[in-house]
Structure 1
Amino acid sequence: MENLAETAETGWRGSRRGWLEAGYQALIEGGIDAVKIQPLAKRLNLSRTSFYWFFEDREALLTALIEGWEERTTDPLIRATQEYAETLAEGMLNVLACFLCGLFDSKLEFVVRGWSLQDEKVEARLAAADEKRLVALRNMLTRWGCEEQEADVRARTIYLTQIGYISMRAQEDTDTRLARIPAYIEIYTGQAAAPRELARFQARVKSSARPR
């Protein structure tokens, strides 16, 4: 949790949260090379020196951004694998909802994967996150009775497919994606989702797509 003094500090120097959000937007829009102090200051209409009230240097901001990436991607995916479900198929629908409802920040994931090609520390952090995510998926599958090897292969099939969607920037409209979900569930779990499970899932996805 952020220090109250850090988040409450506002006014002519802005706030830590504001600098982080500006860094996040710059990262999404232009990649790691776009995250520079002076352009961020201009974006926020603040002085460059005000940055140093909240971060020691650019590297400190980058560290905070990579921590934010984990919070926006790995954490919600792990929570999705632990959500209540009455069947394995419903558990898998919870995982897919994490991606389709925007709980998993796919844009940030794409950029961080590009960033990892330039930075060994980020590459190592990404590898660790990949493993944590796979472990969470394997654990969900074994809780439902899958043998270890089967759970490992299914987890990799699920995860690599979803990351493939992100890395390839695959474009599908909502109706097309939803029409494919029953087949994905059978491939991922070996089970068919019940009509009521699919109906709840579709309502959840369509609700998340409505303008707020």
Structure 2
Amino acid sequence: MFRAMPRPRSTGAGRLSVDDWIQNGYAIVAEAGLAALKVDRLCDRLGVTKGSFYWHFDDMRAYRAALVAEWGRMRDEDRRRLDEMADLPPRERLSQMMSELVSTRHWTMERAMREWARSDDAVAAGVRAADRALVAGVRRALLDGGFDEEDADLRANAIFAAGVGFIHLSGPTPSARQAARRERFLDLMLRR
């Protein structure tokens, strides 16, 4: 069972921010699936009336579009951070990439978007594009670490697949034990 996200803080004067709504939407999808994402459930979770929802969003379609847009924004930010890591030694780069993938920031959103992608072709296309970019970044680190093309490709896909698995095995707050296991896995993948 997943732990619910804590109630959001208001942005002042008792008002919720758009981000409060977005983060709680991801949490509902991650915990209970896309079918559970309803205005009533969101309002109950946040302790507010439907009027608050409609203050921020025209309807559920606009709300879902905001969820997808925020995920895309985060993925763009992730790509920029990946580019900034290019000068790090390959082992350190891969470790940071894995840690970010299972961070509290990503855990709920990644689970939610992967769940959503099962029933929405546009979201699935976005997830696949983000996945390809991440695999390419892992592959580049492995090539920089001296692996040949074939080994880098095989290992990049294995590391990526394990990373997605780590998301599902971890909770919303990463533990030191999980981090140690990820590092041990990375050591195994970097052996020649």
Residue of 19, 32, 40 corresponding to 1:38: 40
Tell me the residue number matched to 2:30. 28
Distance in 1 (alpha carbons) for counterparts of 2:188 and 2:11: 51
Secondary structure at 2:66's aligned position in 1?
helix
Distance in 2 (alpha carbons) for counterparts of 1:88 and 1:27: 34
How far residue 10 of structure 1 moved from its aligned partner, in angstroms, is 6.1
How far residue 105 of structure 1 moved from its aligned partner, in angstroms, is 1.7
Q: Which amino acid in the other structure matches residue 110 of structure 2?
A: E
Asked if 2 retains the 8 angstrom alpha-carbon contact of 1:72 and 1:104, the reply is no
Tell me the residue number matched to 1:197. none
Sort the Cα spacing of 1:78 and 1:159 in 2 relative to 1 into closer, same or farther, 3 A.
farther
**Structure with bigger gyration radius:** 1
Distance in 1 (alpha carbons) for counterparts of 2:152 and 2:49: 53
Tell me the residue number matched to 1:57. 59
Secondary structure at 1:105's aligned position in 2?
helix
Sort the Cα spacing of 1:30 and 1:72 in 2 relative to 1 into closer, same or farther, 3 A.
farther
Secondary structure at 1:56's aligned position in 2?
coil
Tell me the residue number matched to 2:163. 162
Structure 2 portions without partners, runs of 5+ = 1-9
Farther-moved stretch of structure 1 (170-179 vs 158-167): 170-179
How far residue 91 of structure 1 moved from its aligned partner, in angstroms, is 2.4
TM-score (norm 1): 0.65
Asked if 1 retains the 8 angstrom alpha-carbon contact of 2:90 and 2:145, the reply is yes
Q: Which amino acid in the other structure matches residue 62 of structure 1?
A: R
Give aligned-pair identity as a percent.
25
Tell me the residue number matched to 2:18. 16
Aligned residues: 181
Structure 1 portions without partners, runs of 5+ = 1-7, 192-212
Q: Which amino acid in the other structure matches residue 90 of structure 1?
A: E
Distance in 2 (alpha carbons) for counterparts of 1:131 and 1:17: 27
TM-score (norm 2): 0.71
Asked if 1 retains the 8 angstrom alpha-carbon contact of 2:29 and 2:115, the reply is no
How far residue 58 of structure 1 moved from its aligned partner, in angstroms, is 0.8
Tell me the residue number matched to 2:3. none
Higher relative contact order (CA 8 A, sep 6+): 2
